[in-house]
Amino acid sequence: MSIAGRIEPLDEGIILSDQDFDAIAQFAYKHFGLAMSPSKKPLVSSRLSRKLRKQNIKTFKDYLKRLDGPNADQERSELLSLLTTNVTQFFREPHHFETLRKDVLPPLIERAKKGGRVRIWSAGCSIGQEPYTIAAVLHAMLPDADRYDIKILGTDIDPVVVKTAEVGQYPLEDFEGIPKEYKMQLEAGAKPETGRVPQFLRNKVTFGVLNLIQPFPFKGKFDAIFCRNVAIYFDNPTQQKVWQAFQKSLTPGGYLFIGHSERMSGPAAQYMKTVGITTYLNTPG
Ligand SMILES: C[S@@+](CC[C@H](N)C(=O)[O-])C[C@H]1O[C@@H](n2cnc3c(N)ncnc32)[C@H](O)[C@@H]1O
């Protein structure tokens, strides 16, 4: 029998029927852009079962009602957390930060020194280690960056990870992979086994909650966008829309960095020139 045809019994006898799975998959697609094939059914079943049991929810039908009920925002964000991973790390896919140091930041720093504006966006930033890495590279090149109009924005659809990102406190082992030249001096964390990204780096990053499948609320454009290991959750039409929205949000000559298993496609591809591994330069007309 195919996975789609199976009924997954949960510990307490709660059944995830094909119909309930389809309803959850449709909800996740509509609200978060997540594409979930029937092969995801066992995963959805096992992850949601714990939640239903904990909250004493008897059926998936009752659960689905809650997603539109009075606590909908919290229920929706918990569902998203259960369906996606927040895996991230400092200097993940390090070649992108080498390009940032060598090619992207030097002209932007020059512009900032002449009074210009510089904006970098980490879209789908999870708990914040990606935007703090950008801040660390910037700080190494321009220790007095605070004097200039340079801002880094980190956003994610999940308010829980955005809160963690704002605090900037992580287990000590998370800091171990940081290359020597960027070793951030850590502040003491609230617990002895944690460290905190120091204030001077935290000052450089602003965080916010933002769903990438909805229209972006920004007036100005970005000089570089990092959106890595996020579009992997989207189907092709959604990916193409998001690439196009990024292309329109970039300055001419702006850079887009995407995840190692993601590829540019659709209408944006004609303007986004490959200039490195999963690295694109916006070259409109
Ligand atoms: C695997 S993490 C990637 C973190 C970081 N960019 C990196 O590569 O290390 C994927 C993140 O995408 C976020 N995400 C998923 N769907 C999203 C959406 N529709 N809009 C914004 N963020 C989304 C998730 O909440 C999660 O934090």
Known binding positions for S-adenosyl-L-methionine: 86, 88, 92, 130, 156, 211-212, 228-229
Tell me how far the alpha carbon of residue 278 lies from the centroid of ligand 1, in angstroms: 17
Kindly write down the DSSP assignment for every residue of 5-58, as one continuous string: G--EE-TTS-EE-HHHHHHHHHHHHHHH-B---GGGHHHHHHHHHHHHHHTT--
Over residues 108-159, the pLDDT tens digits come to: 999 999 999 999 999 999 999 999 999 999 999 999 999 999 999 999 999 9
From 211, 267, 223, 225, select the one nearest 105 (Cα to Cα): 223
Taking CB atoms and a 6 Å cutoff, what residues make up the pocket around ligand 1?
A: 32-33, 84-88, 92, 124-126, 130, 156-158, 161, 211-213, 228-230, 233, 259
Task: Tell me the percentage of the chain whose pLDDT exceeds 70.
Answer: 95
246 burial level (CB within 10 Å; 0-12, 13-18, 19+): buried
Over residues 25-58, the pLDDT tens digits come to: 999 999 999 999 999 999 999 999 889 988 999 9
Question: What mean pLDDT, rounded, does the chain reach?
Answer: 93
> Which are the contacts of 186, defined by CB distance < 8 A and separation ≥ 6?
172, 175, 195, 196, 197, 198
CA 15 to chain centroid, in Å, comes to: 32
Q: What is the mean pLDDT of residues 182-192?
A: 89
> Taking a C-beta distance cutoff of 8 angstroms, is the pair 75, 66 a contact?
yes
Phi, psi of 187 (to 5 degrees): -80, 160
The pLDDT score that the predictor gives to residue 213 is: 96
The pLDDT score that the predictor gives to residue 34 is: 96
Phi, psi of 150 (to 5 degrees): -120, 125
282 burial level (CB within 10 Å; 0-12, 13-18, 19+): buried
Kindly write down the DSSP assignment for every residue of 154-181, as one continuous string: EEES-HHHHHHHHHTEEEGGGGTTS-GG
The fold of the 3-83 domain, in CATH, is Chemotaxis Receptor Methyltransferase Cher; domain 1 (1.10.155)
Q: Which helix (H) or strand (E) holds 138?
A: helix 129-141
Between CA 149 and CA 151 the distance in angstroms is 7
> Taking a C-beta distance cutoff of 8 angstroms, is the pair 6, 50 a contact?
no
226: amino acid identity, one letter: F
Report the Cα–Cα distance between both ends of the chain, in Å, rounded. Answer: 53
Between CA 273 and CA 91 the distance in angstroms is 24
Residue range 95-282 forms a domain whose CATH class is alpha beta
Which residue matches tokens 């496609």?
Answer: 265
Split at pLDDT 50, 70, 90, the class of 2 is: very low
State yes or no: pLDDT of 206 exceeds 70: yes
Between CA 8 and CA 20 the distance in angstroms is 11
Tell me which of 121, 156, 241, 246 to substitute to probe ligand 1's pocket, judged by most ligand atoms within 8 Å of the beta carbon. Answer: 156
User: Which tokens belong to 196?
Assistant: 């905190």
User: Which tokens belong to 122?
Assistant: 């980490």
Q: Does 6 qualify as catalytic in the annotation?
A: no
Split at pLDDT 50, 70, 90, the class of 13 is: low
From 101, 224, 87, select the one nearest 152 (Cα to Cα): 224
Split at pLDDT 50, 70, 90, the class of 5 is: very low
Tell me how far the alpha carbon of residue 86 lies from the centroid of ligand 1, in angstroms: 6
Over residues 216-257, the pLDDT tens digits come to: 999 999 999 999 999 999 999 999 999 999 999 999 999 999
Cite the residue boundaries of each domain of the chain with CATH code 1.10.155.10: 3-83
Pick the more confident residue, 15 or 149: 149
Ligand 1 atom closest to the CA of 33, numbered from 1? 19
> Taking a C-beta distance cutoff of 8 angstroms, is the pair 158, 31 a contact?
no
State yes or no: pLDDT of 8 exceeds 50: no
State yes or no: pLDDT of 173 exceeds 80: yes
The pLDDT score that the predictor gives to residue 10 is: 47
Cite the residue boundaries of each domain of the chain with CATH code 3.40.50.150: 95-282
C-alpha distances out from residue 76 to 28, 63, 79, 157, 159, Å: 9, 11, 5, 10, 11
The pLDDT score that the predictor gives to residue 275 is: 97
The single residue of 20, 76, 119, 156 carrying the catalytic annotation is 156
